[in-house]
Structure 1
Amino acid sequence: MMIGVRTAFLLGVLASTALAQTPAASQSDREAPIAPPIVRNLDLSAIDKTADPCGDFYQYACGTWIKDNPVPGDQVRWVRSFSLLQERNLYELGQQLDRAAKKPRSPLEKKYGDFFQACMNVAELEKQGLESLEPALKRVSALNDSKGVATLIGDLAAAGNPAPPFRLDVEPDQKDSSKYVLSISESGLTLPGRRDYIGNDSKYVHKRYLMHMVRMFMIAGDTMERAETEAAAALAIETALAKASASRADSSDPEKRYHIYTFADLQKLAPDFDFGVYFKHVTALPIETLNVANPDFMKTVNGLVASAPVEAWRSYFRWHILSEQGAALPKAFRDEDFTFWGGNLTRQEKPAPRWKQCTAITDQAFGDAIAQEWVEQNFPPAAKASMEGMVAALEKALADEIRTLPWMSEDTKKTAEKKLAAIRNRIGYPQRWREYSGLRVDANDFLGNWHRNAVFQRDYRLSKVGKPVDADEWDTTPPTADVRYTASMNSLLVPAGVIQPPFFDGVADPGVNFGGIGVVVGHELTHGFDDLGSKFDE
């Protein structure tokens, strides 16, 4: 028996909605934290002695551990090093936040404890429903002319709501890293990248994404027919924006992402979009020059403002208000969000426990505030001194290697050595902690806290325009298990969160630590001289 296309689509929507209501997608709200074990730095039991190290060294070194440690249901990948360490750090942060929520010892602890508690209070989210979204949704509904898109985006951004399709940021000028430059770049896509909209496999993703959009609109109160119309309109705008977005290769090429424009020249790129109105909503600072990362994207936005029906723009903004704030909405939205992202795209079996989600969100909002206690408990001065010594030894070894390279000219060697000597090593935690007195928190208003934090963080970034670059400022929280070299700043970042077992152990033999954290740091240092890093001097 043949089934009509729309009927098949409806069946798919209803079936997926049923899946979204399964217990696996909601148990995370009640899942209690369990302390992960501290992983040893050198674990011989992980070795698979049945494997031939000459044929498959990875299987030999890790095979037994992989067999004994299947990927947990709330993860999409699972490795003995970074995964287990990040889980441990997240657990310790979660315990700290839980204590701050119940028995704060200072006004600052109460503030981030209330933020965490508001996120954890899913009963309050259920009670509020979409009430907290009403101001933003009313602004969107009031849009009656596409010429008003600039005003609407600025209005949404001013209140801390999602405000696509631009991303405003402040970053060191690529041509002069001593000063900050305002940068505007493309945004406004829900799927991970442009290939998901226009690539060879995009039809598979599109079908599931469209059903997800329809279900979200229906949960928000649309009829099936209305939801289909809104989903199609929002997807059409996102697809047009995706076509104008930079490819992954172009996004990683600094020369293709650097175009300094005067404000007047920016306006010429998109004459139908009033940038003056937009900027007045988000900052009182005069905008004289800025980096336009993708000028063609601005032209596309201008074309859409001139050609897309105002109803399509309303659907697009309504979609982003719903989809970008799913963690702060009632259970039906959160379950549907996981069904699409976890079940369809990442093959994750169940959502991360609510405490993990709220810990990560609070850490992003109050990074330096929370990190101070975490560092005091987990990163003694001796570990910092030892890590600084290791980095110095690795840089010396790299310098010795450069000096003996037979294929490199003497002038190039001198340039490379000069750059290596100038690397800014940021180890453990920042020299100065940020303060958060300007961020207001309400223990019963998670979405409001989310919006106020968005405004607080944006204002903090924009306040740096025209000021000298603070070379010690961190854009990563200290408990993060990661190491990163930043080419534009010629800086190495080694947070306290990764200077832990299994990568580092203060009582271990230095050879073990060099084989752990040393390998990671050494790898990052080489990025200063690869195809990207070589485009920047010291």
Structure 2
Amino acid sequence: MKPAVRMLALVLCASAGMARGQAIMPWGVDLAGMDRSIKPGDDFFHYSGGNWMRTTPIPPDRTKWSTFYLLRAQAEAEVQSIVEALAAKPQAPGSTARKIVDFYTAFLDTDAIERAGLAPVRDDLAVIAAARSHEEIARLMGRPELRADGPMSLTVWPDAKNPDRYGINIVQSGLSLPGRDVYLQSDARATATRAAYRIYIAQMLKQVNWPDADRAADAVLALETAMATCHWTAEKRADRDQTYHPQSRAGLIAFAPSFPWADMLDAQGIPQQNFFVVKEDTAIAALAELFRATPVADWRAYLAFHYLQGMADLLPRAIDELHFDFNGRTLSGQQQQRVRWKRATAALNAALGEAVGEFYVARHFTLQARAQVAELVENLRAAYRERIKQLDWMTPSTRLAALDKLDKLRVKIGYPEQWRDYGTLVVRADDPVGNQKRARLWEWRRLTARLNQRADRDEWGMTPQTVNAYYNAFFNEIVFPAAILQPPYFDPKADTAVNYGGVGGVIGHEMSHVFDDQGAKSDASGALRQWWQEADLANFRARTARLVRQFDRYEVLPGLRVNGQLTLGENIGDNGGLAIAFDAYQRALHGRPAPVLDGFSGPQRFFLSWAQTYRENIREAQLRIDLRTDPHSPAQYRVNGVVRNLDAWYEAFGIVPDQKLYLAPSDRVRIW
């Protein structure tokens, strides 16, 4: 076992003894990590995990550290072990295993990268520098392998109103700083960030001897600031009703004629594409005008800088360190650059993710685990079904449609049934920049090749080695990669309450996205359409508005509060998901009383398990970014802000009115 893997395994195993076989003793919850000096009704977040948070520092190469990131680090180490095992044996030229090894090896060879200097990117920079018209700039923005950014990005995505076909989504884009507000706010922190950003742009351009780099940096910052003024807010962008504006090719050109669409589409290899969805329509129109009004020289500097940012990992140390110093240390407070092998696994997962995933599943996931999780899912589905049947605010016709959507919800567990074929991707052990460019182009061509085909509902949006989960409204499906289906989220040998509080909470969360403020806009087939009766929709919105107001009141830092509207969908997921998971836990007991273990009842163990999955320490700079841009509430409020709405939590811990989290029954938000 490698040292990194051994360390993580020891942390997960928590305390002495493994007699019962579960990873976290004595029955699946880290008792030593609790802070029992705190009353659960005053602060359940720190009661359940305060000692762990107090004694667990954030690694210097991270901006936050949590159960979630601990598992990500473990998956990272497991991928490293897989690659090293493949590298230890001869692999046939052109085989998938050889491509994995060669991509990883090329990324790791910093000596070769240093010797090569700027030679691998010189031709691309020369092409950018030679652009003399807006049409040429648009062509460069359209080249998938350069990924030099631009005021709008084009992505292949299912049609929201007809999800069995694909279209091209056109989305506002082009900013490097985290969110539009950093460009537009006048406070001292935002002003200092912009000043540091301007210095960073100039330093990066000077590394490649860009003409008059200081003036060019001023132009790039001014250009991005102008783009930020065009951009929609995150809250507005989240509203699916406002981001569906279909256009034909002719309609697109007529809608935003200032942008040379034909040149971009030609560069992307889709000159005949005739179905587009403009997402932020007024922003796209304004960005098109800005594109034409901006001098070509400013766009050249912009493209050169963004191109260098996208290649920084694979360029000489001076550029790589500049990139980290601003994007890591200055923006988010990260103290150290991540070691090379960790960055190599991230790059490998991005380029050959399913190829790596096939090896990962063979080592780290079983059909037995898949079957056990499937059983959990069905218990949660049954619990959700009963909840919907008993809702007192929903009319019969909407209830039938909701039950139909729940019944037709597809569940994907562990890994895809069909692995992606990387046979045509060329990878070389001595060409890290070329590998990156070829992987980007290969992926874009894979996506665009199916534009005239029926949408592939079997495809996965995450690799099996990803510690995460998601709901896909287009296909009405919830997806759980193998890497998240392990302790503390799921352990076949742990206490039942622990599994329902852990992975059950994750499943319930994703299942609740089926009926959150945006997911509920799609029907059972995934099509965006109104299937609610107006009275039901009004009731639903009244309940979600209460949740918005509740989270708006949480002050995270002095003067900074949770954005209840931005985080609404995820808060609904937490609120409904935990309630459903608890109901499912009760079903799993089959009427038998849950045992008391170490003084904790079954319901108490359920809530402790769930809360401990959100244990987290975070740097202030990263927290400030998250409050502006992350649709999830900060971890503390994903615990304290949720449990106080659940009657079962009050009963489990005997919460009384004089405790800080107590809400009167009439003030508790119940949606599903």
* TM-score, normalised via structure 1 length: 0.90
- CA distance in structure 2 between the partners assigned to 1:434 and 1:52 by the alignment: 50
Q: Does 1:334 align with 2:305?
A: no
User: Given that residues 169 and 462 in structure 1 are in contact (C-alpha distance below 8 angstroms), is that contact kept between their aligned partners in structure 2?
Assistant: no
Structure 1 pair 382–75 and aligned structure 2 pair: CA distance change class (3 A): same
Q: Does 1:303 align with 2:274?
A: no
Partner of 2:8: 37
User: Given that residues 426 and 494 in structure 1 are in contact (C-alpha distance below 8 angstroms), is that contact kept between their aligned partners in structure 2?
Assistant: yes
- CA distance in structure 1 between the partners assigned to 2:48 and 2:348 by the alignment: 37
Match of 2:503 among 509, 512, 517: 517
User: Given that residues 411 and 477 in structure 2 are in contact (C-alpha distance below 8 angstroms), is that contact kept between their aligned partners in structure 1?
Assistant: yes
Partner of 2:61: 74
Cα deviation for residue 104 of structure 1 reads: 4.7
Partner of 1:255: 241
Cα deviation for residue 380 of structure 1 reads: 0.8
- CA distance in structure 1 between the partners assigned to 2:106 and 2:43 by the alignment: 49
Counterpart amino acid of residue 67 in structure 1? R
Partner-residue secondary structure (3-state), 1:37: helix
Counterpart amino acid of residue 124 in structure 1? A
- CA distance in structure 2 between the partners assigned to 1:537 and 1:501 by the alignment: 34
Q: Percent identity?
A: 31
Partner-residue secondary structure (3-state), 2:164: strand
Once structures 1 and 2 are overlaid, which stretch shifts more, 86-95 or 165-174? Answer: 165-174
User: Given that residues 35 and 91 in structure 1 are in contact (C-alpha distance below 8 angstroms), is that contact kept between their aligned partners in structure 2?
Assistant: no
User: Given that residues 36 and 91 in structure 1 are in contact (C-alpha distance below 8 angstroms), is that contact kept between their aligned partners in structure 2?
Assistant: no
Once structures 1 and 2 are overlaid, which stretch shifts more, 181-190 or 312-321? Answer: 181-190
- CA distance in structure 2 between the partners assigned to 1:85 and 1:139 by the alignment: 42
Match of 2:469 among 483, 487, 495: 483
- CA distance in structure 2 between the partners assigned to 1:459 and 1:172 by the alignment: 16
Q: Does 1:411 align with 2:397?
A: yes
Q: Per-residue displacement from partner, 1:332-364 (whole Å, max 9, x unpaired)?
A: 111111111222111111111111111011011
Partner-residue secondary structure (3-state), 1:494: strand
- CA distance in structure 2 between the partners assigned to 1:53 and 1:88 by the alignment: 30
Q: Does 1:164 align with 2:150?
A: yes
- CA distance in structure 1 between the partners assigned to 2:317 and 2:4 by the alignment: 20
Structure 1 pair 286–322 and aligned structure 2 pair: CA distance change class (3 A): same
Partner of 2:191: 203
Match of 1:150 among 138, 160, 172: 138
What are the ranges of 5 or more consecutive residues in structure 1 without an aligned counterpart? 1-30
Match of 1:129 among 94, 99, 117: 117
- CA distance in structure 2 between the partners assigned to 1:488 and 1:162 by the alignment: 29
Structure 1 pair 129–34 and aligned structure 2 pair: CA distance change class (3 A): farther
Match of 2:355 among 340, 347, 369: 369
Partner of 1:221: 209
Q: Does 1:54 align with 2:41?
A: yes
- CA distance in structure 1 between the partners assigned to 2:431 and 2:170 by the alignment: 30
User: Given that residues 269 and 298 in structure 1 are in contact (C-alpha distance below 8 angstroms), is that contact kept between their aligned partners in structure 2?
Assistant: no
Cα deviation for residue 253 of structure 1 reads: 1.2
Partner of 1:531: 517
Partner of 1:140: 128
Match of 2:87 among 89, 96, 101: 101
Counterpart amino acid of residue 232 in structure 2? A
Partner of 2:301: 315
Partner-residue secondary structure (3-state), 1:488: coil
Partner of 1:402: 388
Counterpart amino acid of residue 110 in structure 2? V
Partner-residue secondary structure (3-state), 1:168: strand
Once structures 1 and 2 are overlaid, which stretch shifts more, 298-307 or 338-347? Answer: 298-307
- CA distance in structure 1 between the partners assigned to 2:125 and 2:245 by the alignment: 35
Cα deviation for residue 303 of structure 1 reads: 2.2
User: Given that residues 148 and 304 in structure 2 are in contact (C-alpha distance below 8 angstroms), is that contact kept between their aligned partners in structure 1?
Assistant: no
Cα deviation for residue 457 of structure 1 reads: 0.6
- CA distance in structure 2 between the partners assigned to 1:197 and 1:69 by the alignment: 34
Counterpart amino acid of residue 177 in structure 1? P
Partner of 2:375: 389
User: Given that residues 269 and 295 in structure 1 are in contact (C-alpha distance below 8 angstroms), is that contact kept between their aligned partners in structure 2?
Assistant: no
Once structures 1 and 2 are overlaid, which stretch shifts more, 476-485 or 37-46? Answer: 37-46
Partner of 1:186: 172
Once structures 1 and 2 are overlaid, which stretch shifts more, 421-430 or 461-470? Answer: 461-470
- CA distance in structure 2 between the partners assigned to 1:306 and 1:86 by the alignment: 43
What are the ranges of 5 or more consecutive residues in structure 2 without an aligned counterpart? 13-23, 525-672
Structure 1 pair 375–144 and aligned structure 2 pair: CA distance change class (3 A): same
Cα deviation for residue 200 of structure 1 reads: 4.3
Q: Does 1:212 align with 2:212?
A: no
Partner-residue secondary structure (3-state), 1:170: strand
Cα deviation for residue 212 of structure 1 reads: 1.1
Cα deviation for residue 376 of structure 1 reads: 1.2
Partner-residue secondary structure (3-state), 1:489: coil
Q: Per-residue displacement from partner, 1:65-121 (whole Å, max 9, x unpaired)?
A: 112211111111111x21211111111011112333343545211111100111111
Counterpart amino acid of residue 424 in structure 2? G
Structure 1 pair 171–222 and aligned structure 2 pair: CA distance change class (3 A): closer
Structure 1 pair 379–270 and aligned structure 2 pair: CA distance change class (3 A): same
User: Given that residues 231 and 283 in structure 2 are in contact (C-alpha distance below 8 angstroms), is that contact kept between their aligned partners in structure 1?
Assistant: yes
Partner of 1:244: 230
Partner-residue secondary structure (3-state), 2:419: coil
* TM-score, normalised via structure 2 length: 0.72
User: Given that residues 101 and 116 in structure 1 are in contact (C-alpha distance below 8 angstroms), is that contact kept between their aligned partners in structure 2?
Assistant: no
Cα deviation for residue 295 of structure 1 reads: 2.9
User: Given that residues 150 and 173 in structure 2 are in contact (C-alpha distance below 8 angstroms), is that contact kept between their aligned partners in structure 1?
Assistant: yes
Counterpart amino acid of residue 515 in structure 1? G
- CA distance in structure 2 between the partners assigned to 1:49 and 1:448 by the alignment: 55
Q: Does 1:115 align with 2:103?
A: yes
Counterpart amino acid of residue 207 in structure 2? I
User: Given that residues 364 and 477 in structure 1 are in contact (C-alpha distance below 8 angstroms), is that contact kept between their aligned partners in structure 2?
Assistant: no
- CA distance in structure 1 between the partners assigned to 2:297 and 2:148 by the alignment: 18
Partner-residue secondary structure (3-state), 2:474: helix
User: Given that residues 379 and 496 in structure 1 are in contact (C-alpha distance below 8 angstroms), is that contact kept between their aligned partners in structure 2?
Assistant: yes
Structure 1 pair 300–139 and aligned structure 2 pair: CA distance change class (3 A): farther
Counterpart amino acid of residue 138 in structure 2? A
Structure 1 pair 395–55 and aligned structure 2 pair: CA distance change class (3 A): same
Counterpart amino acid of residue 203 in structure 1? T
Q: Per-residue displacement from partner, 1:354-392 (whole Å, max 9, x unpaired)?
A: 111110110111111111111111111100000001001
Q: Per-residue displacement from partner, 1:195-234 (whole Å, max 9, x unpaired)?
A: 12123443232111111112212222357xx221010111
User: Given that residues 147 and 272 in structure 1 are in contact (C-alpha distance below 8 angstroms), is that contact kept between their aligned partners in structure 2?
Assistant: no
User: Given that residues 140 and 146 in structure 2 are in contact (C-alpha distance below 8 angstroms), is that contact kept between their aligned partners in structure 1?
Assistant: no
Structure 1 pair 83–153 and aligned structure 2 pair: CA distance change class (3 A): closer
Structure 1 pair 34–123 and aligned structure 2 pair: CA distance change class (3 A): farther
Counterpart amino acid of residue 120 in structure 1? L
Q: Does 1:359 align with 2:345?
A: yes
Cα deviation for residue 483 of structure 1 reads: 1.7
Q: Per-residue displacement from partner, 1:475-508 (whole Å, max 9, x unpaired)?
A: 1111111121122321101111100111111222
User: Given that residues 140 and 267 in structure 2 are in contact (C-alpha distance below 8 angstroms), is that contact kept between their aligned partners in structure 1?
Assistant: no
Once structures 1 and 2 are overlaid, which stretch shifts more, 371-380 or 407-416? Answer: 407-416
- CA distance in structure 1 between the partners assigned to 2:323 and 2:392 by the alignment: 55
User: Given that residues 147 and 305 in structure 1 are in contact (C-alpha distance below 8 angstroms), is that contact kept between their aligned partners in structure 2?
Assistant: no
Partner-residue secondary structure (3-state), 1:260: strand
Cα deviation for residue 403 of structure 1 reads: 0.9
Cα deviation for residue 466 of structure 1 reads: 2.0
- CA distance in structure 2 between the partners assigned to 1:270 and 1:152 by the alignment: 19
Cα deviation for residue 147 of structure 1 reads: 4.2
Q: Per-residue displacement from partner, 1:430-486 (whole Å, max 9, x unpaired)?
A: 111001011101111111100000000100111121211111201111111112112
Cα deviation for residue 53 of structure 1 reads: 2.0
